Structure 1
Amino acid sequence: MRHLPPLAAVRVFEAAARHENFTQAAAELGMTQAAVSYQIRLLEERLGLPLFVRSKRRVTLSEPGRKVAPLVSAAFDEISEAFESVTQEDDGVLTISTPQTLASNWLAPRLGTFQIERPELAVRLQTSNAYVDFARDAADVAIRIGVGPWPGLCQHFLMRLPGTPMCSPDFKAQHGIESPRDLLRVQRLTADDPLWSEWMRVAGLSEPDGETRRGIRLDSQVAEGNAALAGQGVALLTPLFWKAELASGRLVRLFDAVAYERSPIWLVYPEHKRARPKIRAFRAWLERAVASEAAVGPAEDFTLPED
């Protein structure tokens, strides 16, 4: 077991010993001269030895003080180097946690521009629909779908996501889908998703009372989109995430009506990391990326959250 003197007093002694001046030590540490004198006296009483020789105009190190001062300074240098090595290693890696569909269909294809802006950073992308635990998991930031608030986390609104029915061209032709009402008789993927009910309300439809929709239920939009591409049914998808498939004609958007997810998308990270350069850089880049999508894409892809 270590028998250490009060570390606050040791810190004050180290500064005072370097300057051999209590006033300059106080200025460096953001303390008053009286507080420096008090801490030094506490340390001297603990040791039972004088560390400084005091005269009317100045203080100088005593013999015990001269003996211990370089050892204390060296110890502080080692502590500083230890923490700097950890910080430098951590500052070189940015770990992002994000839901699966957002990662694969939107974020991952755009991360290259962030890497060009910050080539000194290694970027790691963790995909999971579960909320990351910042106290336990190795993540710096997360893109999270929810309503919050999340205590201890900074949160920045990014966007809300619309959903609209899409399917393969062959599925549309095979089932003769021409109007929203036709969706009541075809296979809808994850038909019990509450967003389907909201879309049908927006489209002016209602399912027959007592009808239970059976069929394929998938746990992510990327799985639903891939099933729709394979001709397995109609999926409620976000146009923003399927631009390439829509442009190539592999998916077709059936109708103009959209329904919005109730939970917006946020960027979140621990409050104690708010000043970290890599966090600030990623937030600025991400907000620009979202803004650029809003500038060139349909207005329906981005909207402010409801109060």
Structure 2
Amino acid sequence: MLRFAHQNLRLPSLATIQAFESAARLGSFGRAAEELCVTASAIGKRIGQLEAALGQPLFDRGSRGVVLTAAGHEYLDQIETALHLLSDISLHRRSRPRERIRLVTTPTFGHYILGPHLHEFTTAHPNVDMSVVLSIPYLDIGPTQADFWVRFGLGRYPGTISERLTDDTVFPACSPGYLERHGALRRPADLAEANLLRCPLDPWKPWFDAAGLDWPEPEGGVSFFDVGLAMAAARAGQGVIIARRSLAGAWLDDGTLVAPFGIRAAPDSHYYLCREASTPMTGAHLAFSLWVKALCARISQSF
């Protein structure tokens, strides 16, 4: 195998290798110069530098042109493989331009569902740059421009295509410490003496109805306008919340929260993935849509 004359010499420049390959293929320094848009003397100089680095001639120079030496033939075989590899790498990089996705999500979905798993998508799609922004639609707070929105509600959003992400049930949940301090909740009617933490996004009434309690929506006590805050208060032992399987499942599994009753109710609101109906989907958009729907299905099935 042809090697450099001295191990401490630097690798030849790509320009000298291109000059050699072109001259070898075309059989002429002049035609190589035309192909590479330089002068014939520049081609000769570059090839001379390459021959000096290798320590042996690559061409026999004659009046009728240039002919490869045995060393030249050997070197041509080696550098053609390298040049083809470089060409394939460059083509691959050009064929996979970076894509961007801007996602607007509710805080609770972002913190408890998306955030812990987003690395799965970005690792599988390294050419996609994600931008995640929090929004509180209930208070009309947050940006309006995005590729996707994760919204919490009934799924009716004019001008958008909405796909339901979660298939939740709701139920009361509290910390074990709360039960120790305030007594066990053995039947639904015992909630009359409990501190019911309220959240307009997840009202108590659907569960009351499922449990056969003819009770109105609670009005007293603390009301949280964020499901995540309500869950944090419940984990701290401040009261009983209406919990969702998709959000509270991990805490139920590790015992941070407990569900005193086996009764489940179907909520009115769910999480939806939304996008503008008039905007076509890119490959990155489709990949993210499929991934986040599969993620939510997996989370729902695990609890």
Same fold (TM over 0.5): yes
- 1:286 Cα deviation (Å)? 1.4
Give the 3-state SS of the residue equivalent to 1:154 in structure 2: strand
Contact kept in structure 2, 1:274 and 1:280, CA below 8 Å: no
- Deviation digits for residues 89-142 of structure 1 (CA, Å, limit 9, x no counterpart): xx6321111111111111111111111111111222212221799xx7342101
Q: CA RMSD in A?
A: 2.6
Give the 3 Å change call, closer, same or farther, for CA 193–159 of structure 1 in structure 2: closer
- Number of equivalenced pairs: 204
1:109 pairs with one of 111, 116, 131: 116
What amino acid does structure 2 have at the position aligned with 1:292? R
Q: Distance in 2 between matches of 1:250 and 1:289?
A: 23
Give the 3-state SS of the residue equivalent to 1:151 in structure 2: coil
- 1:243 Cα deviation (Å)? 2.6
- 1:188 Cα deviation (Å)? 0.3
Spell out the pairing of 1:137-286 with structure 2 (5 A cutoff): 137-176=144-183, 177-190=185-198, 195-207=203-215, 213-286=219-292
What amino acid does structure 2 have at the position aligned with 1:276? T
Runs of at least 5 residues in structure 2 that lack an aligned partner in the other structure? 1-96
Contact kept in structure 2, 1:195 and 1:260, CA below 8 Å: no
Contact kept in structure 2, 1:131 and 1:144, CA below 8 Å: no
Runs of at least 5 residues in structure 1 that lack an aligned partner in the other structure? 1-87, 299-307
Contact kept in structure 2, 1:163 and 1:195, CA below 8 Å: no
Task: Name which of structure 1's ranges 98-107 and 158-167 shifts more when overlaid on structure 2.
Answer: 158-167
Give the 3 Å change call, closer, same or farther, for CA 107–192 of structure 1 in structure 2: closer
- 1:164 Cα deviation (Å)? 1.0
Spell out the pairing of 1:29-178 with structure 2 (5 A cutoff): 92-130=99-137, 137-176=144-183, 177-178=185-186
Give the 3 Å change call, closer, same or farther, for CA 266–192 of structure 1 in structure 2: closer
Contact kept in structure 2, 1:165 and 1:235, CA below 8 Å: yes
Q: Distance in 2 between matches of 1:152 and 1:132?
A: 20
TM value normalised by structure 1: 0.60
- 1:184 Cα deviation (Å)? 0.9
Higher Cα Rg: structure 1 or 2? 2
Give the 3-state SS of the residue equivalent to 2:203 in structure 1: helix
Give the 3-state SS of the residue equivalent to 2:162 in structure 1: strand
What amino acid does structure 1 have at the position aligned with 2:284? K
Give the 3 Å change call, closer, same or farther, for CA 283–167 of structure 1 in structure 2: same
- 1:248 Cα deviation (Å)? 2.2
- Work out the percentage of aligned pairs sharing the same amino acid: 27
Give the 3 Å change call, closer, same or farther, for CA 157–255 of structure 1 in structure 2: same
Contact kept in structure 1, 2:201 and 2:227, CA below 8 Å: no
